[in-house]
Amino acid sequence: MARKKGVVLLSGGIDSSTLLYYLRSQEHSLLPITFKYGQRHEKEVESARAIAISLNLSIKVVDISGLGLFGGSSLTDDIPIPEGHYTDESMKLTIVPNRNMVFLSLATAYAVSMGCDYVAYAAHAGDHFIYPDCRPEFIDSIAYSIKLATGNVGLVTPFSHLSKAGIVRLGLGLKVPYLMTWSCYKGDEVACGRCGTCVERLEAFSLNNEKDPIDYMAGTYLDR
Amino acid sequence: MARKKGVVLLSGGIDSSTLLYYLRSQEHSLLPITFKYGQRHEKEVESARAIAISLNLSIKVVDISGLGLFGGSSLTDDIPIPEGHYTDESMKLTIVPNRNMVFLSLATAYAVSMGCDYVAYAAHAGDHFIYPDCRPEFIDSIAYSIKLATGNVGLVTPFSHLSKAGIVRLGLGLKVPYLMTWSCYKGDEVACGRCGTCVERLEAFSLNNEKDPIDYMAGTYLDR
């Protein structure tokens, strides 16, 4: 069988970094892609680049921040970032409208241009259903749309039945350099340990009886 | 009932220009959007802008040409544009990968940001099925994906059962200023009258026993 070739959505966080390592372990030929959409900081893009380089892959960085189409989210605007476990209210503040559909559409265009078999995306069972474009029915529908639009590009989501702790378990076995990853919504020198994504990341390592290798500010969720 | 508000994909050609006038005749509040994706010329964008201004609307121009995701099409690259009626071979040369999905995703993000009820797109029965992202099953699938991703934004395609001649018939009644529109794939001073889109446009007016108001070079398809 010919070697599979795919575009991988890489955010620089733990889910997508593990996905890249997982697909590499299958000996696929990989084209990681990441997006600048007006995040408050460059740390995500820097982490995505470092993870790609760690596998000797070059990364496609697509800057859509200047298009002026995303607004009203605390990930890109000047709204305080909520702390603690996610709540419906705090998560609504971090929604960038239609972000996953935009990313998947652009990644698909890139996949067609580069003659790839698939686009891979680290959708997982821990995704929050307040984000409508993370729900399984959306993923199924957009996968069908992509297939219809391209004829031969598939959307693959190998982690759709894994929790974040399950992803970390897999990644620890694959020796993913989690020290290079970045999840915190804030762009400080070290991760805050308090925002929704830090809390979930700390929990995922804790459930594996492992310590998250990145540095955190004093007083994280786990210290409480 | 509240006045409907929608984002309208406006290419500057006859289908989308008629769609804008049609929706305006329904007294909707409209936000036209157009894309620069690396076309050979600026005439499409200029025409889209002129059509929007003719209805006293401002247009959102989204430049995705610098993203480097589209390649291998004669609409954007240095490949000769085929003449005469479309053939499967000649149309394949004018495919920009996944273009409609990219446009619809970005238009949807804009619609969410602006609190719109819908995204309107001039898909029609004359669309060529060699373009997979023009086929009715793709439009149905992407409409469902958009609904799932946004919860409340609909994709509307009022012309899905009209031929291009039917659209022109409607537009003539709505007094669409077709003189301002541009369809030709080439960017010369006047339309070539020979490329696939010129041929179809000339036919659509001819079937209505009307003369297309734009200028053509001597020796169009109809002169033969």
Per-residue model confidence (pLDDT) at position B93: 46
- Give the SS3 label for residue A10: coil
Residue B23 has pLDDT above 50, yes or no: yes
Higher-pLDDT residue of A37 and A182 is: A182
Give every strand in the sheet of B118-120, ordered side by side. Answer: B60-63, B29-36, B5-9, B118-120, B154-156
Q: How much is the average pLDDT of A9-19? A: 96
Contact state of B105 with A104 under an 8 Å Cβ cutoff: yes
Residue B75 has pLDDT above 60, yes or no: no
Residue A35 contacts B where some CB pair is shorter than 8 Å: no
What is the C-alpha to C-alpha distance for residues B187 and B200, in angstroms, rounded to an integer?
A: 17
Residue B206 contacts A where some CB pair is shorter than 8 Å: no
Contact state of A105 with B110 under an 8 Å Cβ cutoff: no
pLDDT category at B101 given cuts 50, 70, 90 is: very high
Residue A135 contacts B where some CB pair is shorter than 8 Å: yes
Ranges of H-type helices in chain A:
14-25, 43-54, 88-92, 99-113, 136-150, 164-173, 196-207
Give this prediction's pTM.
0.88
Residue A162 has pLDDT above 60, yes or no: yes
Contact state of A142 with B145 under an 8 Å Cβ cutoff: yes
Residue B39 has pLDDT above 70, yes or no: yes
Q: How much is the average pLDDT of A29-41? A: 88
Nearest to A147 by CA among B75, B138, B77, B93: B138
Please write the tens of the pLDDT for every residue from B153-173. 999 999 999 999 999 999 999
Mean pLDDT score across all residues of chain A: 87
Would you tell me which CATH number, out of the four given (1.10.510.10, 3.10.20.30, 3.40.50.620, 1.10.730.10), belongs to the domain B5-76+96-183? Answer: 3.40.50.620
- Give the SS3 label for residue B106: helix
Which ipTM value was assigned to this complex? 0.85
Number of DSSP helices (H) and strands (E) in chain A, helices first: 7, 5
Q: State the best of A112, A134, A147 to mutate against chain B, taking most chain B CBs within 10 Å.
A: A112
Per-residue model confidence (pLDDT) at position B40: 66
Say which of A63, A72, A149 has its CB closest to residue B138: A149
What is the C-alpha to C-alpha distance for residues B124 and B158, in angstroms, rounded to an integer?
A: 8
Per-residue model confidence (pLDDT) at position A93: 46
Superfamily of structural domain A5-183: HUPs (3.40.50.620)
- Sequence-ordered strand ranges (E) for A149-190: 154-156
pLDDT category at B31 given cuts 50, 70, 90 is: very high
- Domain positions in chain A are 5-183
| Alpha-carbon torsion, ordered B161, B167, B170, B176, to 10 deg | 150
Residue of B nearest to A97 (CA): B109
CA–CA–CA angle A204, A205, A210 (5° rounding): 155
Q: How much is the average pLDDT of A137-142? A: 94
C-alpha distance from B67 to closest chain A C-alpha (Å): 6
What is the C-alpha to C-alpha distance for residues A24 and A11, in angstroms, rounded to an integer?
A: 16
Say which of A71, A98, A105 has its CB closest to residue B101: A105
Nearest to A93 by CA among A191, A200, A203, A197: A197
Q: How much is the average pLDDT of B51-61? A: 97
Q: How much is the average pLDDT of B177-205? A: 91
